[in-house]
Structure 1
Amino acid sequence: MPPPSTLRGVTHPIQRVVGQVFIPVRDMPAAVRWYAELLGFPPGETSHDGTIFDIPTDGETRLALDANRTDFDTAGPPRFFLWTHDIAAVVDHLRELGVVITSDVEDIGSVFFVQFEDPDGNPLMVCQRA
């Protein structure tokens, strides 16, 4: 694990390292199937009495589906994004799955991105470095 964060000679107890992102869902079995299709992993078993599902990730940051609070609000921008090397292939994949795409592919100079929603209305984003 990285050492504590230091800024201007002051050590801070909270590290600037994201450990896990939680995606709120209402129907865990349906959400697991949807994310498995989207991200290409075999659906597995939930934990915590069926309220948590850890999505397999390739990086250090973990991703989990969380059905502990089903009264969540999905308003606002995506809370995180996933990387790709081929944004056009992502758009094709989303269309094949019938996913609600909420933006065109946008070029903001440093990245191209597309936004879309999961079945619960959570805003999601995929980015490609420019």
Structure 2
Amino acid sequence: MPEPTEAPLTLGLLDVITLRVPDVAAALGFYRDTLGAVPIEEDPPVWARVRLGNVDLGLHQGEPGAGGPEPSFRVQDIAAVRAHLRRRGVPIALDLHDIPGGVMLVFADPGGNVLAVTQYGLTAAEAAARQAG
């Protein structure tokens, strides 16, 4: 007689993406003041949690590691986001570039964590022209 099979595990919605940052207060300031994140929890110097778009990011004190998560957020006007990041002196890791169906921009937070923004329905050349115009 075959053994009964166990039902697969069912997980709920993604709760939080945790990023390691060397300075929680500096990271909190960047995400709040530069990217418009809403602080949810603060326990400096060890932890903070912010809501950015529809995602919660946990900012945990520690050294960022290579190959960590790379959250990407959809935006309505990538040219405006690019201009905003440049005005704030945010390092652009990979400038406007075409991806299937759209354009992406990759940048880093003060701790070196990589984030991206994506806009679908246009090319990198079109996005750059919007910013220039």
Normalised by the length of structure 1, the TM-score is 0.75
Task: Tell me by how many angstroms 1:38 deviates.
Answer: 1.9
The correspondence of residues 49-88 of structure 1 with structure 2, limited to 5 A, is: 50-59=45-54, 61-67=55-61, 70-73=62-65, 75-76=66-67, 79-88=70-79
- Structure 2 alignment gaps of length 5 or more: 1-5, 122-133
How many correspondences in the alignment? 116
Whether 1:109 and 2:94 are equivalent positions in the alignment is no
Partners in 2 of 1:44 and 1:76 — Cα distance? Answer: 26
Task: Tell me by how many angstroms 1:14 deviates.
Answer: 4.0
Contact 1:33 1:43 in 2 (8 A): no
Task: Tell me by how many angstroms 1:13 deviates.
Answer: 0.7
Which deviations, in whole Å up to 9, do the C-alpha atoms of 1:104-126 show, x marking residues without a partner? 21111223110011111111111
Structure (1 or 2) with the greater helix fraction: 2
Contact 2:24 2:45 in 1 (8 A): yes
Task: Tell me by how many angstroms 1:46 deviates.
Answer: 1.1
Contact 2:38 2:52 in 1 (8 A): no
Q: Please give the root-mean-square deviation of Cα atoms over the aligned residues, in Å.
A: 2.4
Instruction: List, as ranges, runs of 4+ consecutive aligned residues in structure 1 with deviation greater than 3 Å.
Output: 41-45
- Structure 1 alignment gaps of length 5 or more: 1-9
Partners in 2 of 1:13 and 1:58 — Cα distance? Answer: 28
Say which one has the larger Rg.
Answer: 2
